[in-house]
A = this chain, B = another copy of it.
């Protein structure tokens, strides 16, 4: 056990650091590249420029194979790059879904010509991609989706609605799974495409969340025409393609963003209770200790994973543990922080509430983190089935034609 870099790792780190120090934007410029700024168009422009710059020096996407402009980096190298890049706080939000999910999907399932056409521009940030899976009536049960595709000559016609599509409004392309045959059991009647998001009949509407922000969209498809050449995988093979994409999603999910142990500890040191400083209250101290230990447990679990990956192990369900624990803790810490602020804990004004009201904000967005990317309940299923090898839930829908399944009203 050893936290030091090997000589090879140290050399890689030095190289990354040198390039970043020479090229990274100033903190002020970096802030202007985030997805959640007030001027999205400007952010997008700056972010694309930075992505292109990274691509020019082969830092755009470390885990892609070299043939597509990646670096074919080891897991440890990716971690080292992330550590170094994070010191400059350059947002990567615009490109994450494309590079993390859509790119690998295209590499696996598209033609060589398509790879040549789309991957380099995706890598350079010239074209942005999104992922169109979830539907209003198909959340945890993605394969229950209703969006139809029907063959029309060399094309397909798509009708339906997707939901929770991050970045749909600024995306150029998207990957989408649709139902081509409702008369067979649900996993068997799906077909997968990539589509041009600027096609006629595609309409994007933002979804307002509890927190008041809109990080996701609904996307409506009305007679959207897609050439058959943009089909990925065979007709009816859409579920297999989707599963290969979702495996990448699990890897991408990280710690819940927001107040954690550090912020709760700082708040407890700041706040005065009738009995004295909150940090002297043993109830506060016991809770802080729990959160410290859990957050450290997640951190060291990540170290263990990286070590295993660097020795050739296949990615496991560690991301499920991280999301399950950190989203729940975030909600609890938010509530706790507000309790510490007592009667005034409801104040959402960042000028008034301690720590710029991050506890109050986290209370409002944390419920979403317990749902998006796999609910608590689905994550526990994943852990019990994929790690512990326990059987799946009893399936009543496996051998039933999709159009004979009960659908309910919600």
Contact = CB atoms under 8 A, between A and B. Distances in A.
A284 B281 CA distance: 11
A407 interface: no
A394 interface: yes
A281 B283 CA distance: 8
A275 interface: yes
A284 B394 CA distance: 43
A213 B239 CA distance: 56
A286 interface: yes
A66 interface: no
A282 interface: yes
Nearest to A284: B282
A284 B282 CA distance: 8
Contacts of A283: 282-283, 285-286
Nearest to A280: B282
A410 interface: no
Interface string A282-313: 11111000000000000000000000000000
Contacts of A113: none
Can you tell how many copies of this chain the complex includes? 2
A396 interface: yes
Contacts of A396: 394
Contacts of A285: 283
A275 B283 CA distance: 13
Nearest to A396: B394
A396 B396 CA distance: 10
Contacts of A284: 282
A339 to B, nearest CB: 11
Nearest to A273: B282
A285 B284 CA distance: 12
10 contacts: A275-B282, A281-B282, A282-B282, A282-B283, A282-B284, A283-B283, A283-B285, A283-B286, A394-B394, A394-B396
